[in-house]
Amino acid sequence: MSNLKFLKTGIAALLCGAALSSQAALITFDFDVAGDNSGKTSQFIDPTQAVNGNGVFGVNGYFIETFDAATAMNGFLDGTEGFNNPADSAGCAINSTGAGITVGGTGSFEVRATGKSGVAAAPADDETCFAYTPAENGILGSVELDYTNLLTNAGNILNTTVGINYFGFYWGSVDDYNDFSFFNGDDLIVEITGESLLDKLNGNSGNQLADSSNVYVNVAFEAGESFTKVVINSTGVAGEVDNIVVGFDTPVPVSGPSTIALSSLALLGMAGLRRRKIKS
């Protein structure tokens, strides 16, 4: 992929053009305060949805992953505790596996209830379970969150083709060696590197408190775009995430590559980035 160039506009928006790409996505950093003491969550959901499990599932709806068993979405099979840290995971689970999401890849993945020095830090103001890679004493590598089966299940329930056109996640203490990549099948659509994000938000790698390095990231795909798999890569300790929100829509066919596509890191809405008091 080519190096990214950024242009700051009068509305504090940052855009850049991506050459050699027919896919496009818009990335923003607005957020809402979660209702379960987990820090930041998506502005596109009612924060109480994550608390009571009443996220909207379906076309133009949202599926919420909190990594807390108590706030699993209603109407699905139980998630798994198979990725829980053996010593610090009371109440934790990957709930979305009950809806068909699979976790794979070459790297290790784990869920825990509190941060641990040298292992993983909870995202700022997050007092709930969160996920990270690598696991404690685990293997470095890439972790794949595959939504293919979830999309199939959703399509069967709704009797229509369903795509994912939005992915939101709370990225904790962003490091310059973390990145998130979005694929449609085996085709890379969007890649967000920690280094580029920190550079554009003037953040410091690994800072566990600052808003500029504890960021809710909204990835909205243009009409006709969708993804089936998210790959989290971290070449060090650690890449942390919580409050994943997935938005569904029916895909809209596109005729061909656009002349200019929004880049892998087109940043909008920074003026709306709200700062909250950090706990001492």
Tens of pLDDT along 5-64?
Answer: 222 222 223 323 222 233 468 999 999 999 999 999 999 888 776 666 665 554 457 889
Categorize the per-residue pLDDT at 249 as very low, low, confident or very high, splitting at 50, 70 and 90. Answer: confident
Q: What is the rounded CA–CA span in Å between residue 92 and residue 36? A: 14
Handedness of CA 170, 173, 176, 178 (dihedral sign): negative
pTM beyond cutoff 0.85: no
Residue 257 included in any domain? yes
Mean pLDDT, residues 207-211: 98
Residue 209 included in any domain? yes
pLDDT, residue 161, reads 83
Residue 142 has pLDDT above 80, yes or no: yes
pLDDT, residue 41, reads 95
Sequence-separated (6 or more) residues with CB below 8 Å from residue 38 = 50, 66, 68, 123, 125, 126, 127, 128, 130, 170, 242, 243
Dump pLDDT digits (tens) for 71-130. 888 878 899 999 999 999 999 999 999 989 999 999 999 999 999 999 999 999 999 999
Which domain, by its residues, includes 98? 7-272
pLDDT, residue 28, reads 92
pLDDT, residue 59, reads 42
Residue 244 included in any domain? yes
Torsion (CA) 197, 242, 58, 155 in degrees, nearest 10 = 90
Residue 81 included in any domain? yes
Mean pLDDT, residues 187-197: 94
Least confident of 68-72, 160-164, 265-269: 265-269
Do the Cβ atoms of 238 and 120 come closer than 8 Å?
Answer: yes
Q: What is the rounded CA–CA span in Å between residue 240 and residue 174? A: 8
Mean pLDDT, the chain, integer = 80
More confident residue, 46 or 259: 46
pLDDT, residue 50, reads 67
Domains in the chain, number: 1
Do the Cβ atoms of 189 and 198 come closer than 8 Å?
Answer: no
pLDDT, residue 105, reads 98
Residue 277 included in any domain? no
- Which 3 state secondary structure label does DSSP give 146? strand
Angstrom CA distances, 181 to 1, 98, 186, stand at 12, 23, 11
Residue 75 included in any domain? yes
Radius of gyration of the chain, Cα coordinates, nearest whole angstrom: 18
Q: What is the largest CA-CA distance in the chain?
A: 53
Least confident of 46-55, 178-187, 259-268: 259-268
Residue 1 included in any domain? no
Residue 77 included in any domain? yes
pLDDT, residue 187, reads 92
Residue 267 has pLDDT above 90, yes or no: no
More confident residue, 222 or 118: 118
Categorize the per-residue pLDDT at 250 as very low, low, confident or very high, splitting at 50, 70 and 90. Answer: low
